[in-house]
């Protein structure tokens, strides 16, 4: 059987919140930081779902929960069709590779661990993977220190593919790289996605990257999913005020004859989120209702939007 899809159901992750001896003595209840708050979505087989949002919105924490590196505080992750082989590519290619291992051993580890090839075929498979990511089989005898950041990320991708994943999580895989190197890695990932039909979750804060890579895009703010739609709809017809403002603030989306508008206000303390709608303190369209009642995540055609109001693209223009 093959992986048919991934279902993330009301997943939450809270850090802290447990009273120590000092808090108990003073009768204080410490606040937990709810990094992820009741997030739900599905990813279909062969689909790339992108997650975007400002730093601190909880997208990388969510990726680690889905990847099994963190235990969820609540909710569930279900894999339809089969218990998947899951692999991750991390943000920093300088810390994600063991500097005391040769490259061929790094890439061979998941093959050996999961017994994906007979022992006599492992070396050939490693050579094949190195070529697949644009490196030479001769690079296998070297150590990670001999490579640039972009080359190390190619090694990380080869290691992930070595596990023959049903589901691939990419957590900011290009953000630590120079712009020219980013383009090379993104082109490599697009080619691999096209040839292998990978089911992927792509985490990034870069809107131009997610526009290039994703079939659908989820927008996160302060631990919540505030909008989810196809990539085309997100960029041409955003429905949530935060999505519109995020796009208007991005300097690398069609910059010619385009005025940039920074998102107003400061990101709230995630351990003390605003009442009602989490975005209301920065939203130019907030009403009294927004402070009183958390907005539901409502369906609109093939889109989900967490807002009390049905706002048109025109009404989402930033006021002068």
* Domain containing residue 44: CATH number: 3.40.50.300
Q: Is the pLDDT of residue 43 over 70?
A: yes
Q: Which domain holds residue 74?
A: 5-84+166-237
- Of 18-32, 63-77, 132-146, 166-180, least confident by mean pLDDT is 18-32
Q: Which residue has the higher pLDDT, 82 or 319?
A: 82
Q: How confident is residue 66, by pLDDT bands cut at 50, 70 and 90?
A: very high
Residue 215 lies in a domain: yes
| pLDDT score recorded for residue 30 | 56
Lowest-confidence region among 144-148, 257-261, 295-299: 257-261
Q: Choose between 223 and 22: higher pLDDT.
A: 223
Is residue 282 one of the residues assigned to a domain?
no
Does residue 174 form part of some domain? yes
Q: What pLDDT sits at residue 16?
A: 83
CA 191 centroid distance within chain: 19
Which one has a higher pLDDT value, 257 or 266? 266
The C-alpha atoms of residue 69 and residue 141 are separated, in whole angstroms, by 30
Residue 17 has pLDDT above 80, yes or no: no
Tell me whether residue 270 is in a domain: no
Tell me whether residue 122 is in a domain: no
Would you say residue 320 has pLDDT above 90? Answer: no
With cut-offs at 50, 70 and 90, classify the pLDDT of residue 96: confident
Residue percentage of the chain with pLDDT more than 70: 89
- Per the structure, the count of domains in the chain is 1
Of 145-159, 177-191, 287-301, 304-318, the least confident: 304-318
**Average pLDDT, integer, range 58-78:** 95
**Rounded-to-integer distance, Cα 109 and Cα 237, Å:** 45
Confidence class of residue 317 from pLDDT cuts 50, 70 and 90? very low
**141 in a structural domain:** no
- Evaluate if residue 18 carries a pLDDT over 80: no
The predicted pLDDT at position 300 comes to: 80
The per-residue pLDDT for 260 is 59
Instruction: Give a yes or no: residue 199 inside a domain.
Output: yes
Predicted confidence band of residue 252 (pLDDT cuts 50, 70, 90)? low
Residue 250 or 136, more confident: 136
Q: What is the mean pLDDT of residues 207-223?
A: 94
Query: Does residue 276 belong to any structural domain of this protein?
Result: no
């Amino acid at each position: 059987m093959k992986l048919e899809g991934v279902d993330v159901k009301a997943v939450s992750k809270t850090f802290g919140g447990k009273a120590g001896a000092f808090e108990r003595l003073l009768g204080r209840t410490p606040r937990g930081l709810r990094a992820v708050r009741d997030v739900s979505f599905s990813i279909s087989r062969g689909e790339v779902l992108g997650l975007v949002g400002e730093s601190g919105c909880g997208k990388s924490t969510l990726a680690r929960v889905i990847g099994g590196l963190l235990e969820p505080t609540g909710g569930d992750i279900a894999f339809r069709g089969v218990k998947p082989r899951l692999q991750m590519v991390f943000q920093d290619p300088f810390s994600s590779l063991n500097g005391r291992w040769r490259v061929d051993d790094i890439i061979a580890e998941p093959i050996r661990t999961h017994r994906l090839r007979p022992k006599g075929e492992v070396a050939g498979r490693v050579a094949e993977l190195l070529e697949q990511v644009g490196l030479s089989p001769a690079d296998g005898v070297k150590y990670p220190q001999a490579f640039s950041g972009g080359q190390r990320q190619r090694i990380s991708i080869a290691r992930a593919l070595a596990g023959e994943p049903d589901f691939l999580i990419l957590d900011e895989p290009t953000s630590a790289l120079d712009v020219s190197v980013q383009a090379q890695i993104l082109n490599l990932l697009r080619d691999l996605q096209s040839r292998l039909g990978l089911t992927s979750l792509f985490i990034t804060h870069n809107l131009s990257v997610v526009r290039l890579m994703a079939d659908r895009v989820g927008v996160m703010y302060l631990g919540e999913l505030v909008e989810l739609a196809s990539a085309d709809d997100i960029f041409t017809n955003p429905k949530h005020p935060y999505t519109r403002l995020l796009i208007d603030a991005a300097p690398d989306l069609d910059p010619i004859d385009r005025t940039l508008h920074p998102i107003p206000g400061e990101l709230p303390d995630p351990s003390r989120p605003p009442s009602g709608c989490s975005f209301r303190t920065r939203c130019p369209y907030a009403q009294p209702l927004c402070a009183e009642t958390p907005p539901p995540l409502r369906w609109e055609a093939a889109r989900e939007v967490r807002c009390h109001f049905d706002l048109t693209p025109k009404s989402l223009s930033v006021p002068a």
